[in-house]
C-alpha cells in the first residue's frame, strides 16, 4: 500500500483551495486519458502496465535464470531514463542475484578505466540501451567495452553476450543488432525516456539482475487501476499533484524529497529527472532536490529548518524495512542510550523522521509523507506509476508539455560543433 499524509500542510493549503482547483485537475485528467493534451503521442505509459504480456515477462525471467550461471555480472549501458530507473530499482531492492555495473552514463575516462580493470577478470553480459544508438555517452562506452569483449570472447560467444534494447526499426543500434544477430528488445515509440522503466528499458536489465519483474509489473498494474479515478480526495496520486501545484503557486519553489531510508537515494534521483525534465521549462517549474536523512540532517538540516521559506518537503517512508538491527545494552552506558536498548534502529529512525517532519512544519516548511508499506518490487512498481501519473497531471496543471525536453538540444548542438572542430 502507498499512502499520502498531508497533516503538515495545515495553515499552508486550506481544504477549500484543494477543492477549488478540482476543475483544473479534471481538465488535466481528461487531457491525459483522452490523449488530447500536449505531447499526447508520448502517453503510452498510461496503460502500459496492463499491456505488458506475460510471455515477455516469462521470456525475460527465463533469460535471466539462464545467464546467471555463465556470468559474474551484468553491464548496463545507458543514460538518463535508460539508467536511473534501473539503478533506482536495484539499489532500492538490494542484493541482486548478479551485480550490475553501469557504463555510458558519463564521459569520464577515469570511471571507465576503473570499470575496465574490474571487467577484465569477470564473465559478463552487456545490455546496451539506446533508442537511437548514437547518444554520445552510451555509444562511446559501448565502443570501448565491445573492444574488451572482442579480446576476451570468440565471435560466437560475443554474440551471445550482447543484448540490445532499442527502436523497433530505426537507428544505429537497431541496424547493428540486426546485422550481427544480437538479441534485441523494443523501446516503444509512445513512451519517453523518463517514463520508460516498465518497458524493456527497465525490464531487461532488471530481469538479468534477478529482480521479480512479475511482481514489479503487477504493482504497476495495481497502480494503473488505483490511480485512474479523477478525485483529489480519494486518489493520493492526484492529491499529491494538485497540492504541489498549490504550494508552487504560493512561492514554494523547491521541493525537497527527504527519506530516512538510504536505499531511496536513486529513487529520488529518478524522481528528479521525472519532475525536473517534465516541468522545468518555459521559465517555470519546481526545482526538485533530495536529501537522505539522517545524514543530511547534519548538513542541510539547518537550512531546511531556518533558511529561505521558499521550499516544501516530501518525505518517502517505508513502514517495514527488510532488515533491522536491535540496539544492545551496554554495561558502561557511556553514551547514555541504554534507555533504547532492546529497541531496533528503525524504531529510532522513525522517531527521528516524526520529529523532523514536525520541526520543519513548525519552522515554516509545509511537508507531506508518502509511505510504502513494504520495500519490495511490487511496491516500487506501484510507486513509479504513482509518480509518473502525478507528474503528468502536475505538468498539465502547470501548463507545460510534460513529455518533451526541448532544452537539452542547446548544449548538444554546441558540443557536436566543438567535437567536429577537433
Select the span of 5-13, 205-213, 220-228, 354-362 touching a copy of itself (CB under 8 A): 354-362
Judged by beta carbon, residue 236 or residue 301, the one nearer a copy of itself is 301
106 binds a copy of itself (CB under 8 A): yes
Residues in the chain: 422
276 binds a copy of itself (CB under 8 A): yes
- Residue 75: which of 163, 134, 166, 171 has the closest Cα? 163
> Which H or E element spans position 62?
helix 54-70
Q: What are phi and psi of 38, to 5 degrees?
A: -60, 140
Please, which residues have CB within 8 angstroms of residue 107's CB and are 6 or more apart in sequence? 136, 137, 140
Q: Which of 269, 277, 279, 313 is catalytic?
A: 277
Judged by beta carbon, residue 194 or residue 222, the one nearer a copy of itself is 194
CA angle (62 as vertex; 61, 63 as ends), nearest 5: 90
Q: Does residue 412 carry a catalytic annotation?
A: yes
Asked if 172 and 128 count as a contact pair (C-beta separation under 8 A), the reply is: no
Asked if 293 and 356 count as a contact pair (C-beta separation under 8 A), the reply is: yes
- Supply the minimum distance, in Å, between the C-beta of residue 22 and a copy of itself: 26
Distance CA 69, CA 66 (A): 6
Judged by beta carbon, residue 196 or residue 224, the one nearer a copy of itself is 196
- Supply the minimum distance, in Å, between the C-beta of residue 51 and a copy of itself: 26
Question: Of the candidates 142, 182, 195, 385, which one interacts with a copy of itself according to CB under 8 A?
Answer: 142
Q: Does residue 105 carry a catalytic annotation?
A: no
- Supply the minimum distance, in Å, between the C-beta of residue 237 and a copy of itself: 21
For residue 250, the tally of other CB atoms under 10 A from its CB is 14
Q: Which three cell numbers stand for residue 397?
A: 496543471
Q: Does residue 29 carry a catalytic annotation?
A: no
- Supply the minimum distance, in Å, between the C-beta of residue 209 and a copy of itself: 17
Q: Which of 283, 298, 413, 420 is catalytic?
A: 298
311 binds a copy of itself (CB under 8 A): yes
153 binds a copy of itself (CB under 8 A): no
111 binds a copy of itself (CB under 8 A): yes
Asked if 81 and 192 count as a contact pair (C-beta separation under 8 A), the reply is: yes
93 binds a copy of itself (CB under 8 A): no
Judged by beta carbon, residue 26 or residue 253, the one nearer a copy of itself is 253
345 binds a copy of itself (CB under 8 A): yes
339 binds a copy of itself (CB under 8 A): yes
Encoded one letter per residue, x for contact with a copy of itself by CB under 8 A and - for no contact, window 163-202 reads ---------xx-xx--x-------------xx--------
Question: Of the candidates 94, 181, 251, 399, which one interacts with a copy of itself according to CB under 8 A?
Answer: 94
**Within positions 51 to 70, which residues make up the interface with a copy of itself, using CB under 8 A?**
none
Distance CA 24, CA 262 (A): 36
Count H helices, E strands: the chain?
Answer: 17, 10
Asked if 370 and 317 count as a contact pair (C-beta separation under 8 A), the reply is: yes
Distance CA 110, CA 13 (A): 48
360 binds a copy of itself (CB under 8 A): yes
DSSP-based three-state secondary structure for 312 = strand
Binding residues for a copy of itself, total number by CB under 8 A: 122
249 binds a copy of itself (CB under 8 A): no
237 binds a copy of itself (CB under 8 A): no
Distance CA 17, CA 155 (A): 64
308 binds a copy of itself (CB under 8 A): yes
Select the span of 29-37, 47-55, 357-365, 380-388 touching a copy of itself (CB under 8 A): 357-365
Q: Which three cell numbers stand for residue 234?
A: 480519494
Judged by beta carbon, residue 84 or residue 372, the one nearer a copy of itself is 84
Q: CA dist 91 to 68, 205, 292, 347, 352, Å?
A: 19, 13, 14, 22, 23
Question: Of the candidates 7, 295, 373, 399, which one interacts with a copy of itself according to CB under 8 A?
Answer: 295
Distance CA 68, CA 210 (A): 8
For residue 108, the tally of other CB atoms under 10 A from its CB is 11
Residues with catalytic roles: 277, 298, 412
Amino acid at each position: 500500500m502507498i499512502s499520502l499524509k498531508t497533516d503538515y500542510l495545515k495553515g499552508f493549503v486550506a481544504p477549500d483551495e484543494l477543492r477549488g482547483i478540482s476543475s483544473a485537475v479534471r481538465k488535466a485528467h481528461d487531457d491525459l486519458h483522452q490523449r488530447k493534451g500536449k505531447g499526447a503521442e508520448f502517453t503510452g505509459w498510461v496503460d502500459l502496465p496492463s499491456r505488458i504480456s506475460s510471455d515477455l515477462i516469462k521470456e525475460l525471467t527465463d533469460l535471466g535464470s539462464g545467464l546467471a550461471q555463465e556470468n559474474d555480472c551484468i553491464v548496463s549501458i545507458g543514460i538518463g531514463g535508460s539508467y536511473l530507473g534501473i539503478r533506482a530499482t536495484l539499489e532500492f531492492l538490494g542484493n541482486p542475484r548478479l551485480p550490475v555495473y553501469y557504463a555510458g552514463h558519463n564521459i569520464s575516462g577515469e570511471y571507465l578505466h576503473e570499470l575496465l580493470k574490474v571487467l577484465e577478470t569477470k564473465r559478463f553480459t552487456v545490455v546496451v540501451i539506446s533508442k537511437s544508438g548514437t547518444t554520445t555517452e552510451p555509444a562511446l562506452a559501448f565502443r570501448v567495452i565491445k573492444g574488451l569483449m572482442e579480446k576476451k570472447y570468440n565471435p560466437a560467444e560475443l554474440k551471445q553476450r550482447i543484448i540490445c534494447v532499442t527502436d523497433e526499426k530505426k537507428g544505429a543500434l537497431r541496424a547493428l543488432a540486426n546485422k550481427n544477430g544480437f538479441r534485441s528488445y523494443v523501446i516503444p515509440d509512445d513512451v519517453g525516456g523518463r517514463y520508460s522503466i516498465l518497458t524493456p528499458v527497465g525490464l531487461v536489465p532488471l530481469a538479468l539482475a534477478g529482480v521479480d519483474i512479475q511482481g514489479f509489473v503487477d504493482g504497476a498494474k495495481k497502480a494503473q487501476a488505483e490511480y485512474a479515478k479523477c478525485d483529489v480526495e480519494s486518489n493520493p496520486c492526484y492529491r499529491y499533484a494538485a497540492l504541489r501545484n498549490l504550494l508552487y503557486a504560493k512561492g514554494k519553489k523547491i521541493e525537497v524529497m527527504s527519506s530516512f531510508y538510504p536505499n531511496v537515494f536513486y529513487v529520488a534521483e529518478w524522481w528528479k529527472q521525472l519532475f525536473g525534465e517534465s516541468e522545468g521549462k518555459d521559465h517555470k517549474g519546481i526545482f526538485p532536490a533530495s536529501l537522505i536523512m539522517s545524514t543530511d540532517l547534519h548538513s542541510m538540516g539547518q537550512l531546511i529548518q531556518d533558511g529561505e521559506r521558499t521550499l516544501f518537503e516530501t518525505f518517502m517512508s517505508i513502514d517495514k524495512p527488510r532488515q533491522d538491527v536491535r540496539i544492545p545494552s551496554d554495561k558502561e552506558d557511556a553514551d547514555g542510550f541504554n534507555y533504547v536498548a532492546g529497541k531496533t534502529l528503525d524504531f529510532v529512525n522513525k522517531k527521528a523522521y516524526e520529529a523532523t517532519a514536525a520541526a520543519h512544519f513548525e519552522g515554516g516548511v509545509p511537508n507531506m509523507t508518502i509511505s510504502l508499506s513494504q520495500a519490495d518490487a511490487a511496491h516500487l512498481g506501484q510507486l513509479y506509476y504513482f509518480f509518473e501519473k502525478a507528474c503528468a497531471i502536475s505538468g498539465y496543471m502547470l501548463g507545460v508539455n510534460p513529455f518533451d525536453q526541448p532544452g537539452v538540444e542547446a548544449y548538444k548542438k554546441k558540443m557536436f560543433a566543438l567535437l567536429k572542430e577537433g
